[in-house]
Chain A
Amino acid sequence: MTRRWSPAWLFTASALLLGGSILLALGWGSVAIPWGAIPSLFRQWVSGAPLSPPAMVLWEIRLPRILLAGLIGGVLAVVGASLQALLRNALADPYVLGVSSGAALGAVVGGLISHSLHEANLVLFLWAFGGSLLTLFILYRIASVHGLLPVQTLLLAGVVINAIFSALVLFAVAMVEPSRLFGLLSWLMGSIGSADYRIVGLLFVYSLAGLLFLIGKAEQLNLLTLGDESAQSLGVEPERLKRLVFVVTALLTGAVVSLSGMIGFIGMMVPHALRLLVGPDHRVLLPAAAVVGAAFLILADLLARSLLAPTELPVGVITALLGGPFFLVLLWQRRQGAIVSE
């Protein structure tokens, strides 16, 4: 018998997890702020009075960064889950397909041209967006056979494109003056830098639209995991759905990569873990992945900025170190389960 968490319990638990992560990340940092002081500092912020230094740290530095991390984590987890359904492979994510490195290459080239590397701005976003769209176009031209997208060809093309684009990124990095190298490398390895509310607000609207689109397609994604012919004989146009989901995930990836570089493992791990808890129905899985992915990256970013404080680690390092072993354990447990049930 498959035991699963009920959706109500799941969303209560993940909302608590997200709320807890935000509170934890608010209070924790190089400037210690007792949690008891947060309400009064909040009133100070809302009242519009001049901010005291702790309030400044809390509301002008920490909160936007926490919100940005949450948005990026949620987007990555949902994009991963959607691509896994699209490719019928629990290991797929934007990195495997090369969409992330395409976006990164775009951002690096854009940064070199505009001399504004690792600062979140519209120029970088547009370049990263262009990079992920270009990757998408190349992938599609290479992998599509008579209008169809066979999964193996697609994955293989993704791996090769990833290798080429990563090499090009390193090529571009070699041309950067040494003083800017550290910032660039840290961005490439995935880091949530400074954030402001304007960017957070824009990303929120942008990713909410993308997430709602994907969540709206949830049941059709369920059918797609049974294969193109099953989907089609149950009234879903597989190729059209794939194209739409592909474009939307590339758009989301482009935005996220331009802001935070290449943060790995969330798109692969969060949906995988959630599937073990709540099953594979995307109507539950996608919203849950958004919330849990957000909590996960907030906590990972908290670790990244406090482990070696005052030095900051790239959060991509943390997600890989946390996500990798966790993923292996899940895989191992699932294998045990599979052997027992056979």
Chain B
Amino acid sequence: MSVNELMEQTRAGYQLENVGFRYPGRTEWAVRELTLAITPGDVVGIIGPNGSGKSTLLKLLAGLLRPQQGAVQLDGRLLGHYTIRALAQRVAVVPQSVQFVFPFTVREIVGMGRLPHRAARSDWWRGWRPERPADRGAVQDALSGMELEPVADRSILELSGGERQKVLLARSLAQQPSILLLDEPTAALDWHHQSVVYRRARALNQEQGVTVVLVSHDLNLAALFARRLVLLDRGRVRRVGTPDEVLTQAELDALYAQAVVVDRHPSADAPRVTLRP
């Protein structure tokens, strides 16, 4: 075992053991008996039918939900033992959408990604610490990385859905996380905007080793984007593996109760799933 491999094992990434989560007032478990490891630097796609627990799993990873059973560990420490701010310094979440109510500019929203990094013992006056050059630089990089400079000083309320989604990803970039969690970030976007978002997330993974976890109901997108897929079925892990191992005809036919064709993507080394009419 090389030194690098050893280091990777001790850094450990996410470890989920026998995790169960039930929304308040519900009798069914949204996620149950879920055991999963996500290694640092991986690109993982979480897929499955509607209601299989994809978004719940992502929120558990983000620390937005606390499991009622089992344990979620990040780098060998229980997620609940991190302060909310320490977690925000490591993990960034790009939500499906955010409802903006006030006319913040794009630059202001992206700048909010710096809040977890502004140093202060107490959070009382944290927002009042002057911006450091590092903060300004991170915001500027995030804006240019997402091609948002032309609209940087416009109100978010004037932007289209695709542009708003790019702003949310830019905010996560400004956060400089080691883990990026994407919750169907492009479900409502056209192909150009989808491709901008995924190219940037991929580049982040390849250049800086950021771990990326993507939730998607779009199997082809997940197959193209992720190195490893986690297929969920009613809150449990049904299959984990490379896209070729997970997206098989038999598996999908049974899970989705819908006949599909699985063949090869014509230009990428990935499986392709299409509906059988």
Check B157 against A1 for contact (C-beta < 8 Å).
no
- Name A283's contact: one of B89, B92, B109, B128 (CB within 8 Å): B128
Check A222 against B112 for contact (C-beta < 8 Å).
yes
- The answer to whether A216 has its CB under 8 Å from any CB of chain B is yes
- The answer to whether A218 has its CB under 8 Å from any CB of chain B is yes
- The answer to whether A49 has its CB under 8 Å from any CB of chain B is no
A64 to B62, CA, bound (A): 53
A20 to B125, CA, bound (A): 32
Check A233 against B101 for contact (C-beta < 8 Å).
no
B215: shortest Cβ distance to chain A, in Å? Answer: 14
- The answer to whether A135 has its CB under 8 Å from any CB of chain B is no
B267: shortest Cβ distance to chain A, in Å? Answer: 35
Say which size band chain B's interface belongs to.
35 or more
Check B87 against A279 for contact (C-beta < 8 Å).
no
Residues 151-193 (chain B) with a chain A CB within 8 angstroms:
153-155, 157-158, 175
- The answer to whether B46 has its CB under 8 Å from any CB of chain A is no
Residue-wise interface mask of B (87-113) relative to A, using a CB-CB cutoff of 8 A (1 in contact, 0 not): 111011101001111111100110011
A283 to B131, CA, bound (A): 13
Check B124 against A216 for contact (C-beta < 8 Å).
yes
- Which residue of A is nearest B101, CB measured? A88
Q: Which residues of B contact A234 (CB under 8 A)?
A: 88, 112-113, 115-116, 175
Residue-wise interface mask of B (225-250) relative to A, using a CB-CB cutoff of 8 A (1 in contact, 0 not): 00000000000000000000000000
Q: Which residues of A contact B103 (CB under 8 A)?
A: 2, 275, 279-280
Q: Which residues of B contact A100 (CB under 8 A)?
A: none
A6: shortest Cβ distance to chain B, in Å? Answer: 13
- The answer to whether A223 has its CB under 8 Å from any CB of chain B is yes
A223 to B123, CA, bound (A): 14
| Majority DSSP secondary structure for residues of B touching A | mixed
A342 to B163, CA, bound (A): 13
Residues 99-141 (chain A) with a chain B CB within 8 angstroms:
none
Residues 108-138 (chain B) with a chain A CB within 8 angstroms:
108-109, 112-113, 115-116, 123-128
- The answer to whether B64 has its CB under 8 Å from any CB of chain A is yes
Q: Which residues of B contact A90 (CB under 8 A)?
A: 101-102
A280 to B157, CA, bound (A): 12
Q: Which residues of A contact B88 (CB under 8 A)?
A: 233-235
Residue-wise interface mask of A (206-219) relative to B, using a CB-CB cutoff of 8 A (1 in contact, 0 not): 00000000001111
Check B98 against A226 for contact (C-beta < 8 Å).
yes
Q: Which residues of B contact A88 (CB under 8 A)?
A: 99, 101
Residues 24-70 (chain B) with a chain A CB within 8 angstroms:
24-25, 59, 62-64
Check A281 against B108 for contact (C-beta < 8 Å).
yes
A160: shortest Cβ distance to chain B, in Å? Answer: 23
Q: Which residues of A contact B125 (CB under 8 A)?
A: 216
Check A230 against B113 for contact (C-beta < 8 Å).
no
A236 to B87, CA, bound (A): 11
- Pair count A-B, CB < 8 A: 97
A76 to B90, CA, bound (A): 39
- The answer to whether A306 has its CB under 8 Å from any CB of chain B is no
Q: Which residues of B contact A145 (CB under 8 A)?
A: 24
Check B127 against A218 for contact (C-beta < 8 Å).
yes
Q: Which residues of B contact A89 (CB under 8 A)?
A: 101
A58: shortest Cβ distance to chain B, in Å? Answer: 38
- The answer to whether A31 has its CB under 8 Å from any CB of chain B is no
Known: A218-B127, A235-B84, A236-B84. A223 touches B115 (CB 8 A): yes
Check B85 against A233 for contact (C-beta < 8 Å).
no
Say which size band chain A's interface belongs to.
20 to 34
A227 to B100, CA, bound (A): 8
A2 to B63, CA, bound (A): 35
Q: Which residues of A contact B157 (CB under 8 A)?
A: 338
Q: Which residues of B contact A216 (CB under 8 A)?
A: 124-125, 128
Residues 231-263 (chain A) with a chain B CB within 8 angstroms:
232-237
Q: Which residues of A contact B126 (CB under 8 A)?
A: 219-220
Check A235 against B98 for contact (C-beta < 8 Å).
no
Q: Which residues of B contact A338 (CB under 8 A)?
A: 157
A27: shortest Cβ distance to chain B, in Å? Answer: 38
A288: shortest Cβ distance to chain B, in Å? Answer: 15
Known: A279-B108, A283-B128. A232 touches B64 (CB 8 A): yes
- Which residue of B is nearest A338, CB measured? B157
- Name B98's contact: one of A85, A227, A275, A283 (CB within 8 Å): A227
Q: Which residues of A contact B59 (CB under 8 A)?
A: 229
Q: Which residues of A contact B155 (CB under 8 A)?
A: 2
A234 to B123, CA, bound (A): 13
A216 to B98, CA, bound (A): 25
- Which residue of A is nearest B99, CB measured? A227
- Which residue of B is nearest A85, CB measured? B102
Check B62 against A233 for contact (C-beta < 8 Å).
yes
Known: A218-B127, A226-B98. A232 touches B84 (CB 8 A): yes
Q: List 9 A-B contacts (CB under 8 A).
A: A146-B24, A219-B112, A222-B127, A226-B100, A229-B93, A232-B84, A235-B84, A275-B102, A342-B158
Known: A146-B25, A233-B88, A236-B84; 18 extra A-B contacts, CB below 8 A, are: A1-B153, A219-B115, A219-B127, A220-B123, A220-B127, A222-B108, A223-B112, A223-B115, A226-B112, A229-B64, A232-B84, A233-B62, A233-B63, A233-B93, A235-B87, A279-B105, A280-B103, A342-B158
Interface residues of A (CB under 8 A from B): 1-2, 85, 88-90, 145-146, 216-220, 222-223, 225-227, 229-230, 232-237, 275, 279-281, 283, 338, 341-342
Interface residues of B (CB under 8 A from A): 24-25, 59, 62-64, 84-85, 87-89, 91-93, 95, 98-105, 108-109, 112-113, 115-116, 123-128, 153-155, 157-158, 175
